[in-house]
Structure 1
């Protein structure tokens, strides 16, 4: 069965690298805890405020269980 899991992460100026590392760790931990052996797709998209500034990141993981 194919499943989709989303992860969100707020972004703060000058801390993006740390936040991306934390997001990677969360996704990897999820993959390990769920014993996922087949990842179909991983994609990222940003969220923005009314001025167009990036304020968050959404990562979508598509996997087979």
Structure 2
């Protein structure tokens, strides 16, 4: 048994956030399905910001059992 970590990122634009979040979830779910991931240990989201402190993206880290 081994553990792996996969990171995903997405840019977020004003007025399109809900669509982008659905696409982001679909991207992560597709990775899980295509790679036969059976057990996810943790999922963590973190916002990225610009120099004004405005959210411009998200990073999602998924730790899973191989």
TM-score (norm 2): 0.97
Aligned residues: 65
Structure 2's unaligned 5+ residue stretches are none
Q: What is the Cα deviation at residue 47 of structure 1?
A: 0.3
Matches within 5 A, 1:10-25: 10-25=11-26
* Residues in 2 aligned to 1:19 and 1:64: alpha-carbon distance in whole angstroms: 27
Indicate the residue corresponding to 1:27 in structure 2: 28
- CA drift of 1:9 comes to 0.3
**How far off is 1:5 after superposition?**
0.2
How large is the RMSD of aligned CA atoms in angstroms? 0.4
How far, CA to CA, are the matches of 1:41 and 1:14 in structure 2? Answer: 29
Show structure 1 runs of 5+ residues with no match.
none
* Structure 2 counterpart of 1:55: 56
- Are residues 1:8 and 2:6 paired? no
